[in-house]
A and B are shown apart, each in its own frame.
Chain A
Amino acid sequence: MNQPREGFLGQDAALELSVNGGTVRVASPPATRLADVLRDELGLTGTKIGCNAGDCGACTVLLDGRQVCSCLTAVAQAAGRNVTTVEGLAADGRLSDLQASFQKHGAAQCGICTPGMLMAAADLLARTAAPDEAEVKDALGGVLCRCTGYQKIIEAVLDVASGPRPDLPPAAGAAVGARAAKVDGIARVTGEERFGADDIPDDALWLRVIRSPHHHASFRLGDLDAVVKRTPGLERILTAKDVPSNGFGIYPHIKDQPVLADGEARFRGEAVLALVGKREAIETFDEATLPIEYVPLPPVMGLDAAMAPGAPLVLPDRPGNLLQDGGVRKGDAAAAFASCAAVAEGRFETAFVEHAYIEPEAGWARRVGKGRNARLEIHVTTQTPYMDRDEMAVVMKLKPTQVHIVPTACGGGFGGKLDMSVHPLVGLAAWLTGKTVACVYTRPESMASTTKRHPARVHAKFGCDASGRLLACEVDAEFDTGAYASWGPTVATRVPIHATGPYMVPNVRTRGRGFFTHCHPAGAFRGFGVPQGAIAHEAVMDELADKLGIDRLEFRLRNALKAGDATATGQVLEHSAGLGECLERLRPHWQRAQEEIAAFNAGSANLRRGVGIGCMWYGIGNTSLSNPSTMRIGVSKSGVVTLYSGALDIGQGSNTILTQIAADAAGLPMSTIRLVTGDTDLTADAGKTSASRQTFVSGKATELAALDLRKKLFAAANAPEGEYLDYRYKLAIEGNGKAAQIVIRRDGITHRVPLKKDILGEGYFDPPTSPADADGQGVPYASYAFAAQIAEVEVDLELGTTRVLRIVAAHDVGRAINPIQVEGQIQGGTVQGLGLALMEEYLPGRTENLHDYLIPTIGDVPHMECILVEDPEPLGPYGAKGVGEPGLIPTAPAILGAIENATGVRMRQVPVLPHRLRAALGAPA
């Protein structure tokens, strides 16, 4: 280790450190966080900041070869020492073995945690060349990943010793179904990928949001101009009055959330003012000196308060605090219950759940052009550029074409980046000041102000005949939607449709209602309420099976929806309903688990093991609404093939999957296809990255676009009409620049024509649905995903702690276009489901950071085995449907069933924190 400097360091001594082998002098003050110096002064933005509190590990670097959090290290403490960042891993432009292994194994999804993971792993591997799994977990335990479920990361680190190389990209015609590495993966393992906070122009002004400290308060503002005048570097303070149309929201007819609160704050963390100015000026500004006079008002917190007769109204135009009341009715449930041999029911409760993507919201905006040609350009981390564009147009009273959204890489979304966050604030500030304005949320403000999963209370009652066939179902679900609607209506309609579970039930009455409270809005989160509903229906399935003495898996198999069955909405499933096969494939695991567990429990007193099973179904895409995608793929005159995709890859892999589809449909190798994604000036609207729809909807549009291109290229080459569908004709684009040619070969005969102009193929797909009638009958979705998972757990009876030992997940995905990505989605979703079941509970004002709000770490995840069932969906590209959300849905039910199996106690409230389970188990023996 280098010797510390002689004497002591005063404020004017410049610091010298070695970064990635080169010496640098640093001008930042000595107490500055090393992370900030690396990013802001040295431009090494590969090091990420997810929390500034040591909780996420995204900022991990090596200091003299040891992993440390650079957000907790004063730059002065790195003086005279060696700092290694992710940018220092690849030597001479060649990926290190570790980076190559991450790329090969699909260990990076969104990539925001990847630099931290790589540095922690590099530290380990420098000390232990061939570590075991426990050592890998210990070494990486300080870095959180919200996307992958960690398993592929562990596999990647364990595989380094074998000197991995990413496989070559698949050949033309062999892309679909291949375990192809991510087409945009390299930038994620080198640290070059640019996320929301990584590309902020140096001359940008910064924006800081002042937020309500009260759940509910009215407020008056004093003389803000005087504050601006007396504060050097502060240029402007934005208030509600500055917003041209101060309301935004997901639904065209519900724009209820103000950009800046107007005299009344309806949740703790709601934006009240925005300070715009020089970064240092606004960051050091003392918020307590602002003339804001709050009068705290009694808040409506929780469903009981919101539903109480005479409850104060959160929004004046919402009587009874009711957002929406939806439901489905089929047959006569009440009458059918009378003839049931067995009936079971229960009431289940879930909490607010935070998305906890590792990248906090960030972005910047500028005004481009003058007068009538002026446009607003916003660079932002998002899941939905086109909806952002349209929402910004509403707020700013501009035409949508005057707004240009340039998505940055997105460091995790899971539904949380479907709502606007920094966008209207930086957009408004840039528009009004004419300058570039940036904003990066801190972790606490990200958690306090953005959407959550809806807390739910679900009452479910099911009945079946003596042979175990379900006859009737009644479900009432209530959701806390917070202060504004956001995606609340989606949840309230989606849940009643899915409330039967993936089972054939002839008589159904279900209802979903959303209520307003003085909490942050609840919005979209992987599954839109369906995970909450699944906890209820799966618990009741277990109870019915037990009552009749039927095995829990067999009971589900008996009732599983299959092709030809009608759903609760009367939709007859024509194909691709593979739950039965999922269950069949799980059966051997189910039997093995039961035997192993019985053997273990026979010899154990305090530790008890159990196994549980959960099933789910999930309609792909928007509910009963059109949700089209348009995709384009072109060949430029100079021979470059480009896929123009408005579908955003937020880590789930759609860039790769769409490229695979485009390649095989066009008959070109994947490696020749470049990508342009997301930019609303360069692509067409492909809808949101949500509802598991990008592979199915945008994938189909991509297939059609690529076929259109192939057809046009065949026509340009004068190939016989119709032959473009014959893949024995091999297509290639050869040569480049002026010499670029279309080449078509078959049986030794070659057509060659020069490319005279750009040729563009376009595809459009809108999955066929029909609106619901008054009883909720109709075709809400064109396709459904199905899955079943089993979970094995171990409960410590004395402490009430639960460890998940293993998950086996069988998913009907239609067709796995890329099995690595599909497994990654399942594993990542499953671990979020584990968090929902066992540890995640967001309490407004009390858990606004990643040490009081707990998500699973690498040490909490079980071994996960994925079984991919491929019951093809004829509407989807190559038979594929969606997989983004299904991974999460069956996990919590399976874990809860396993806890019951282990202990005899059915937990009806999640998360099952140790003290809750301990209390439910009763006084210790």
Chain B
Amino acid sequence: MSEYLRPTQFEEALRLLARGPYAILAGGTDHYASRVGKPLTEPILDVTAIRGLREIAERADHWRIGAAATWTDLLEASLPPQFDGLRLAAREIGGVQIQNSGTLAGNICNASPAADGVPALLALDAGVELSRTGHVRVVPLAQFILGPRKTQRCSDELVSAILVPKSEFEARSHFVKLGARKYLVISIAMASAVIEHSAGVVFKARVAVGACSPVAVRLAALEDALRGRPMNARLPELVHAEHLAPLLPIDDVRASAGYRTGAALTLVKRAIAGACA
């Protein structure tokens, strides 16, 4: 029988992890799904009993989403409109069962190109807090994910939280997912936008697209183009095909690359429209 550790103290978890390597288990929705018909033999460190790790809390200049917080926890937390896009993403993760177990941290650690949480968190400018005994570092999400199934995490590090900076001005956000069916669907493409505005003018915009490149990306040129523009229904008209240059879509069973590019353009416009609505 292989090892299965379920610590309740955070420091204890870090100490155990150093003894590793362990497969870290949170909601298990990616872990078990990728082991169909395979023996469950690797040593496990389960993070779901760690006290406090499930908390979603407001701090002075940021919000802290504990690594064991589930999509449902997020939906039930009281959060400002800045989070509306992320919450829309949460509602579209699998079905309610997956939302009840799956964690935001697991979603980013799993590093799927089609992870719905990633563009939404990129648009929130989220950071990833990584902890090992005696040491904590925070890495921007865009740098944390290196490629499909690859992250910067070292084997003795635990992702302890996702940190979302508070916006300087009032922020509105939106998320749009495109799949070939309603529930339980891996995105063909998705887009998320967070727009900070003041006096009817865009102060700062962050727009990210997923499933159209190995890692979801932000569209910097577009973000620049939106800055200083009036925050109204005509804002989406500023989106142009060139803004999508950072995307590197591929053909797969879900859609063709060419289609993805066109769809991404539409989704980005709709995400911005939704944030302005």
Contact = CB atoms under 8 A, between A and B. Distances in A.
A8 B48 CA distance: 11
B233 to A, nearest CB: 14
Contacts of A283: 39
Given A54-B94, A66-B100, A69-B97, A914 B36 contact: no
A142 B98 contact: yes
Contacts of B255: 913-915
A11 interface: yes
Query: B interface, by DSSP: helix, strand, loop or mixed?
Result: loop
A5 B46 CA distance: 13
Contact of A54 (B37, B72, B98, B185): B98
Interface stretch (A516-524, A741-749, A842-850, A874-882): A842-850
Nearest to B94: A142
A578 interface: no
Interface string B31-58: 1110011011100101011010000000
Given A798-B266, A854-B185, A846 B253 contact: yes
B28 A918 contact: no
B32 A8 contact: no
A918 B263 contact: yes
B100 A67 contact: yes
Contacts of A914: 178, 180, 188, 255, 259, 263
Contacts of A53: 32-33, 36
Interface string A840-877: 01010011010110101111100000000000000000
Interface stretch (B3-11, B117-125, B195-203): B3-11
Contacts of A33: 32, 40
Interface string A108-151: 00000000000010010000000000000111111110000000
Contacts of A734: none
B220 interface: no
A846 B185 CA distance: 16
A11 B97 contact: no
B213 interface: no
Query: A interface, by DSSP: helix, strand, loop or mixed?
Result: loop
Contacts of A10: 3-5
Contacts of A74: 4, 25, 28, 32, 44, 46
Interface in B71-122: 72, 91, 94-98, 100-101
Residue in B1, B96, B97, B101 whose Cβ sees the most chain A Cβ within 10 Å: B97
Nearest to B188: A914
A77 interface: yes
A67 B72 CA distance: 11
Interface stretch (A405-413, A439-447, A617-625, A696-704): A439-447
Interface in A6-57: 6-11, 29-33, 51-55, 57
A71 interface: yes
B95 A31 contact: no
Contact of B5 (A9, A71, A801, A856): A9
Contact of B72 (A9, A66, A924): A66
Contacts of B32: 33, 52-54, 71-74
Interface in B1-23: 1-8, 12, 16
Given A31-B2, A60-B97, A914-B255, A444 B266 contact: no
Contacts of B27: 72
A37 to B, nearest CB: 12
A854 B16 contact: no
Contacts of B44: 30-31, 74
A847 B253 CA distance: 8
A526 to B, nearest CB: 20
A924 B255 CA distance: 17
A445 B36 CA distance: 10
Nearest to A55: B184
A915 B259 CA distance: 5
A67 B37 CA distance: 24
Nearest to A852: B253
Interface string B224-258: 00000000000000000000000000000111101
A800 interface: yes
B100 A68 contact: yes
Interface in A855-913: 856-860, 913
Nearest to A30: B4
Contacts of B3: 10-11
A284 interface: yes
A73 B40 contact: no
A621 B250 CA distance: 46
Contacts of A57: 95, 97
B255 to A, nearest CB: 4
Interface in B177-232: 178, 180-186, 188
Contacts of B180: 801, 838-839, 854, 913-914
A857 B184 contact: yes
Nearest to B41: A284
B262 interface: yes
16 contacts: A5-B8, A7-B8, A8-B8, A31-B2, A52-B33, A55-B33, A72-B31, A142-B95, A142-B184, A284-B41, A799-B266, A851-B185, A852-B253, A860-B181, A915-B255, A915-B256
Interface of A: 4-11, 29-33, 51-55, 57, 60, 63, 66-69, 71-74, 76-77, 79, 120, 123, 137-144, 283-284, 442-445, 798-801, 838-839, 841, 843, 846-847, 849, 851-852, 854, 856-860, 913-915, 918-919, 924
Given A445-B37, A919-B259, 5 more contacts: A8-B49, A11-B2, A29-B4, A71-B32, A120-B95
The 3 closest A-B pairs by CB, nearest first: A142-B95, A859-B182, A141-B183
